[in-house]
Amino acid sequence: MSFELVLQYLISPAFFHGALTTLLITLYSLVFGVAVGVIVALLQDSNTRLGRTLAWVYLWLFRGTPVLFQIIFIYNVLPTFGIRLSAMVSAILALSLNEGAYMAEIIRSGLQAVKKGQRTAALALGMKPFAVMRHVVIPQAARMILPPIGNQMVGMLKLSALVSVVAVEELMLVANQTASSNFRYFEALTAAGIYYLALTTLFMGVQALIERRLDPKQRRKGPRTSLTERMLGTSRSATVR
């Protein structure tokens, strides 16, 4: 057990590159997953049976099979049909499609939570449907779906370790390869764990910041002033009067 070796791993280019790859996989998968989730959520609420059926089949497939199976299937089976993707692209595609199945339910719940009366009133005022969605529905839905999306982002970070099975050089693969070369598993996995905790803390901090910015109560509050400033302001106003 050597903490000096842990520190050496933490500042090594291999571990830093692995952590950066993990971060990129998480962000790309989350962005594409949200995009897929929006499309599927709209299909679920569509007026056509075909749209609802397509959404149901998609959710059934990607929520009913393990994400590890999906990663291996996309990487190994698609080349059979002439579709050759790199390990990185295959991993992001699999995670995005899996994430989209869960994001669809989150986004759909957020959109349905906005009362229909508000949409009707906005349309009655002459607003276009797109403007209603942009200025009335989405701002309210965003505040409700942000916490579960943040939880999904942290979960996606941890799921990214599964892509090591298709030889993507992310953090977990780097840690395993390093430990296998010298059998110092404690040091290598501890360094990887520190990176995972740092990334998780970063995501949670960003989520809290965005939630604070979207909170209407926080936005209505003006800049905080000290007791001295408030007293001086009061005395100045009294002097002016």
Measure Cα distances from 197 to 39, 80, 157, 158, 162 in Å.
32, 38, 10, 10, 17
Is the CB of residue 60 less than 8 Å from the CB of residue 130? no
How confident is the model over 161-178, as pLDDT tens digits? 999 999 899 999 999 999
How confident is the model over 75-89, as pLDDT tens digits? 999 999 999 999 999
Mean per-residue pLDDT, 210-234: 57
Domains in the chain, start-ordered, CATH in brackets? Answer: 3-240 (1.10.3720.10)
Percent of the chain at pLDDT above 70? 89
